[in-house]
Homo-oligomer: A and B are copies of this chain.
Amino acid sequence: MSLLERVRACHGWRPEAYRPWTVGESVVGHVRHDLAARLGDFPEVFQVSDERVALRSGLDDFAARSAAVDAVVRQLAEAGAVGRYREEAYPVVPRWGDAPLFKMDRGAVPDFGVRGYGVHVNGLVEGPDGLKMWVGKRSMTKPTGAGKLDHLVAGGQPHGIGVFDNLIKEAAEEADLPEALARRSVPVGAVSYRCERAEGLRDDVLFCYDLVVPADFEPRNTDGEVDFFELWPMDKVAARLAETDDFKFNVALVIIEFMVRRGFIGPDDPDYMAIVDGMHLAA
């Protein structure tokens, strides 16, 4: 077991098992061949060939594309052919900073191999006995990563809300963080990866933040999604990461990014560049 294994678990997919999903010239996702065949049943929305799934060209604005895709997603979700409908829309953007082409329900995002964005907050306490990190345990009822170890605050980035505003909202829901405290979160970079998981193809960018909380602050979950929070010394976090896969796969990646950034490992480690390169999707 090693940190590098945790990093590698976030990468690797079989491109031959998928065909690209395109909107005009933009690739917006990757669809498994069996789902692609099924999408052929909706010729008013999808133009399916052996090479790709194309969104039909008449659908040429955000509202039309969103409505057409959503109608199909709802039918497929009811039929159990894609993930459970989550009632939360993700923006579909060819590149970060572009206007979204459309929105689609979060539950189907991995089925369509669409890039998802999220926010992850390293909750830190700096004290005389060293650096500690708040660790949460995900509820067994979570649709992904049930029972896994998690960040103080982490969540997907829905359509229609800024990244920092989303962080503030998630911080209140997941850990009962007062807004004034959550606003001290500092953006420190992003990790990205593409890998096959039970729920489908995860093609994610996670915006990473550090937040130093007061030593006497106690997070408290308010939405039932976290069983408990514990404050762990960094050496306990590092050992658990290296020796087990108890942390959710993408939480592990963000914490390893933190360890790289704060000098817990350095270039004299032969794995260093493989770990650093693994913080980002290989193009």
Chain A residues numbered 268-283 whose CB sits less than 8 Å from any CB in chain B? 268-274, 276-277, 279-280, 282-283
Q: Are A97 and B262 in contact (CB under 8 A)?
A: no
Interface residues of A (CB under 8 A from B): 95-98, 119, 162-164, 186-190, 192, 205, 207, 260-263, 265-274, 276-277, 279-280, 282-283
Cross-chain contact A95 with B205 (CB below 8 angstroms):
no
- State the number of copies, please: 2
Q: A261-B188, A267-B190 are in contact. Are A95 and B164 (CB under 8 A)?
A: no
Q: Which of B162, B189, B205, B274 is close to A97, meaning CB atoms less than 8 Å apart?
A: B274
Q: When A188-B260, A276-B190 are in contact, do A266 and B163 touch as well, CB less than 8 Å?
A: yes
A281, closest chain B residue (CB): B277
> How far apart sit A186 and B265, CA to CA, in the bound complex (Å)?
10
Q: A269: shortest Cβ distance to chain B, in Å? A: 8
| Contact call B96/A186, Cβ cutoff below 8 A | no
Once bound together, how far apart are the Cα atoms of A96 and B4, in whole Å? Answer: 14
Bound-state Cα–Cα, A205 to B272, Å:
12
**Which residues of the partner chain B approach A190 to less than 8 Å between Cβ atoms?**
267, 272-273, 276
